[in-house]
Amino acid sequence: MRYLFIDRDGTLIEEPADTEQIDRYERLRLMPAVISALKLAQRLGFRLVMVTNQDGLGTPAFPEETFWGPHRLLMHIFESEGITWDGVHIDRSPAANPSPFRKPSPLMILPYLAQADRARSLVIGDRITDVEMAYRVGLRALYMPNPRQGVLPSHLEPITHRVNGWLDIMALLPRMVFSTAYARRTRETDIQLTLTLYGTGQTDIQTGVGFLDHMLTLLAYHAGWDLRLHAQGDLEVDAHHTVEDVAIALGEALRGLLGDAAGLHRYGQWRLESTHRYLPMDEALALVVVDYSGRGHCEWRVALPEGVGDISPALWKHFFQTLAVRAGLTLHLWANGEEAHHLVEALFKGLGRALREAFQRDWLQTTIPSTKGRL
C-alpha cells in the first residue's frame, strides 16, 4: 500500500506564528488546495495518515477543550469531502520532555510500514522533524518549509523534495504513481527503461541508432513523459531487432502503466476544436489519431519515399505497428510529404501530441471510458 504520512499544523492547516496552537475556531484555516490534493491522492490509491505533535496538549499551556473543538471541525470538513484517514496520531509531549513517540521518532507511523510500498509512500510536513522522521524509516519527504525553520541538515537533502504547497503536490503525485521501470533482454537486444507519464519531457535515450534516439526524444517531449531508455542491440547485423524491441519495450511499459483507465480521456485528437489534429513539418503533414482501446491496431497510410536514419520504410511501419499492438492502441497514421526525414519526424511529434491528449485524466472521475466497463 502507498501511504501519505501527513503533518497537521503548517501542512494541512495554517500554523499561527505566535503560539503555534490552533486553540480557537477562528484560527482554523485550511492550506490552499489541500482538499483537492487529498481527494486526488485517494483517487491515486494513497492511504492517508495524520501524524502531529501537539506540544503539551492537556496541560495548562494547552488545555484539552481548546484543542478538540477546532480539530473535530477539521475532521468533519475532511469527512464531508469524502477524505478518510487510516489513522490520526497525536503526540502530546512537550519538546523539552519528549515521549518516545514524538516526531522525529517514527514510532507513530511504524505500524503502517510493514505493509507500505516504501518507494511510493511519503511524509509530508513543514518541519525538519517531519523530514527526519521520513529519513529514519527510509521514506522520502515532501517538505513545505515553515519560514521559522532553520537550514535542513545535509543528511536529509537526498530524501527531500521541496514544494510550495498542495498545488505542487497535485502535480507530483500522478508522476509517482504513473512511473515504471521496465527491462527486456533477449539474445538480440538488452533494453532498460524508466517511463513517467505526466512528466516534463526529460529524456535520456541511447539506443545506438541516432535517428531513433532523436525521434524518441521528440515523442517523449510532446507526450509529456520523462523517459530514460538505454538499448544495446545487435547493430552489427542491422537496426531491425533494436527498432522492433524498443517498440515492444515502450509499448509494454505503457500498457502496464495505464492500468484500469479510470477517468482516462482515451481518445487523442478527436475534438473539433483541437488545434493540432494535424502536425505539420515543413512540406510534410501528418495526421495521427489514437484510441487507447486495449486492442492493438495500426493503420499506416504513409508514403515514405525512402528510409531515414538507416531504417527502411518497412521498418518504420513495423515500429509503429509493434508499438500499437504492445500498448493496446488503435493508431491511425496518415502523412503526406516529399522528404522522409520530415515525414517521420511529423509522425513522432504527432503521436506524442495525440498520446498526451489520450492519456489525460479527469482525476476525480472513476468512470471507465467504455460502455463495456473495461478496455
Whether the Cβ atoms of residue 196 and residue 175 lie closer than 8 Å to each other: yes
**Strand locations in the chain, DSSP E?**
2-6, 46-53, 87-91, 122-125, 140-143, 160-162, 179-185, 189-196, 203-206, 226-233, 267-268, 278-281, 284-291, 297-302, 330-336
Q: Is 55 in the site for Mg ion (CB under 5 A)?
A: no
Question: Least distance from C-beta 354 to Mg ion, angstroms?
Answer: 44
What does the DSSP 8-state code read for residue 272? T
Residue least distant from Mg ion (Cβ): 10
The amino acid at 139: L
Whether the Cβ atoms of residue 188 and residue 245 lie closer than 8 Å to each other: yes
Question: Least distance from C-beta 161 to Mg ion, angstroms?
Answer: 17
The smaller minimum CB distance to Mg ion, of residues 9 and 55, is found at 9
Q: Is 10 in the site for Mg ion (CB under 5 A)?
A: yes
Backbone dihedral region for residue 89 (phi beyond 0: left; psi -120 to 50: alpha; all else: beta): beta
Question: Least distance from C-beta 11 to Mg ion, angstroms?
Answer: 5
- Choose the stretch contacting Mg ion; rule: CB under 5 A; options: 1-9, 101-109, 184-192, 306-314: 1-9
Identify the residue among 126, 132, 226, 245 touching Mg ion (CB under 5 A): 126
The smaller minimum CB distance to Mg ion, of residues 20 and 339, is found at 20
The answer to whether 7 is a known catalytic residue is: yes
Q: How far apart are CA 244 and CA 166, in angstroms?
A: 41
- Choose the stretch contacting Mg ion; rule: CB under 5 A; options: 3-11, 173-181, 253-261, 358-366: 3-11
321 sits in which H/E element: helix 313-327
Question: Least distance from C-beta 130 to Mg ion, angstroms?
Answer: 7
The answer to whether 168 is a known catalytic residue is: no
What does the DSSP 8-state code read for residue 92? -
The smaller minimum CB distance to Mg ion, of residues 9 and 23, is found at 9
The smaller minimum CB distance to Mg ion, of residues 126 and 245, is found at 126
What residues numbered 258-317 form the site for Mg ion, per CB under 5 A?
A: none
The smaller minimum CB distance to Mg ion, of residues 141 and 324, is found at 141
Q: How many helices (H) and strands (E) does the chain have?
A: 9, 15
The smaller minimum CB distance to Mg ion, of residues 22 and 253, is found at 22
- Choose the stretch contacting Mg ion; rule: CB under 5 A; options: 8-16, 62-70, 98-106, 211-219: 8-16
Q: How far apart are CA 356 and CA 202, in angstroms?
A: 15
Size of the site for Mg ion (CB under 5 A): 4
Which of these, 221, 222, 215, 294, lies nearest to 251 by C-alpha position? 294
Phi/psi for 246 (5° steps) reads: -65, -40
Q: How far apart are CA 339 and CA 306, in angstroms?
A: 8
Q: Is 9 in the site for Mg ion (CB under 5 A)?
A: yes
Q: Is 145 in the site for Mg ion (CB under 5 A)?
A: no
- Choose the stretch contacting Mg ion; rule: CB under 5 A; options: 22-30, 33-41, 125-133, 196-204: 125-133
The smaller minimum CB distance to Mg ion, of residues 10 and 369, is found at 10
Q: How far apart are CA 138 and CA 124, in angstroms?
A: 14
- Choose the stretch contacting Mg ion; rule: CB under 5 A; options: 6-14, 25-33, 76-84, 326-334: 6-14
Question: Least distance from C-beta 10 to Mg ion, angstroms?
Answer: 4
Q: Is 7 in the site for Mg ion (CB under 5 A)?
A: yes
Grid coordinates 509503429 are at which residue?
320
Whether the Cβ atoms of residue 242 and residue 209 lie closer than 8 Å to each other: yes
Whether the Cβ atoms of residue 291 and residue 354 lie closer than 8 Å to each other: no
Question: Least distance from C-beta 53 to Mg ion, angstroms?
Answer: 8
Question: Least distance from C-beta 88 to Mg ion, angstroms?
Answer: 14
Catalytic center residues = 7, 9
The residue ranges that bind Mg ion (CB under 5 A) are 7, 9-10, 126
